[in-house]
Structure 1
Amino acid sequence: MKPELTIGTKHSIQITVTNKMFAQFEGELVHPVYSTAMMVYHMEWASRQIILEVLEETEEGMGAEVKVKHLAPATEGTVLTIEATVVGLKKNFIITKVQIFSKDRVIGEGEVTQVILPKSKINAMID
């Protein structure tokens, strides 16, 4: 991992809630709001954007842990900002605090831990 990554490094993405992001299981709609599963996906995606800049060619990042609190609903058409901030660097682990908000309302928050490993080690685990 390149040494440029520091505590406080941030990355944010914006998404607009669509009906494909609604809470559903096996194609059955539970309710027409932004799902917790999509929230986790977007938290991981924002956090991954941070590590992409510091990976060496022989490295890859893997998700290790996600903690999430879904605090408020977001309906179709709501614009969400997902902001990830590096709060911990421990050996090859990168910990980001993530907040999801719409305007001044917090929709969710949590923490994503990623581990940086050699691609060869990851490939050996898969084989």
Structure 2
Amino acid sequence: MKPGLRIGDGVTIKVVVTPEMYARFAGEIVHRTYSTVTMIYHMEWASRQIILPFLEEDEEGMGSEVKAKHLAPSPAGSQLTITAEVIGLKNNKVITKVSARNEKELIGIGEVTQVILSKDRIRELVEDIEQA
């Protein structure tokens, strides 16, 4: 990684809940609110935005752990703010604290851990899995 990433660095992304983000299983809508799966996607996306400027050309980040609590629903049209802040830098790991809010309240909290690896190493790992 390029130097400069620090504890406290953060990113905020904004999204509007759409019907495509509803909770669903096997194509069937379970309820017409922002799904936990989509919330985690957005938490990972915000966390990824932090590391992108610091990746070398031959590096990539891979998610390795997500902890999340979905605290409140958000229907279609809700304006969400998802934030990620670096809380840990350990060897090749970047750990972020994440949160999601709608216009009224905190709707989700958690942590995302990303591992920074060379693209060659990632290819090796994928090849090992494909050959197994």
* Structure 2 gap segments, 5+ residues each: 128-132
After the TM superposition, which parts of structure 1 deviate over 3 Å for at least 4 consecutive aligned residues?
Answer: none
Tell me the TM-score normalized by structure 2.
0.95
Q: Aligned to 1:72, what secondary structure does the other structure show? A: coil
- Provide the aligned C-alpha RMSD in A: 0.7
1:66 equivalent in alignment to 2:33: no
Amino acid at match of 1:18: T
Tell me the TM-score normalized by structure 1.
0.98
Instruction: Name the structure 1 match of 2:21.
Output: 21
Identity %: 58
Greater share of helix residues, 1 or 2? 2
Instruction: Name the structure 2 match of 1:120.
Output: 120
Instruction: Name the structure 2 match of 1:102.
Output: 102
CA–CA distance in 2 between the matches of 1:113 and 1:45?
A: 12
Between Structure 1 and Structure 2, how many residues are aligned?
Answer: 127
Report 1:27-42 matches (<5 A). Answer: 27-42=27-42
| Most deviating of 99-108 and 113-122 | 99-108
Instruction: Name the structure 1 match of 2:44.
Output: 44
Give the superposition deviation at 1:104.
4.7
Q: Aligned to 1:103, what secondary structure does the other structure show? A: coil
Give the superposition deviation at 1:103.
2.9
CA–CA distance in 2 between the matches of 1:104 and 1:55?
A: 36
Instruction: Name the structure 2 match of 1:80.
Output: 80
Amino acid at match of 2:73: P
Give the superposition deviation at 1:126.
1.1
* Structure 1 gap segments, 5+ residues each: none
Instruction: Name the structure 1 match of 2:56.
Output: 56
CA–CA distance in 2 between the matches of 1:116 and 1:53?
A: 13
| Most deviating of 103-112 and 76-85 | 103-112
1:30-49 CA-to-partner distances (Å, cap 9, x unmatched) read 00000000011000000000
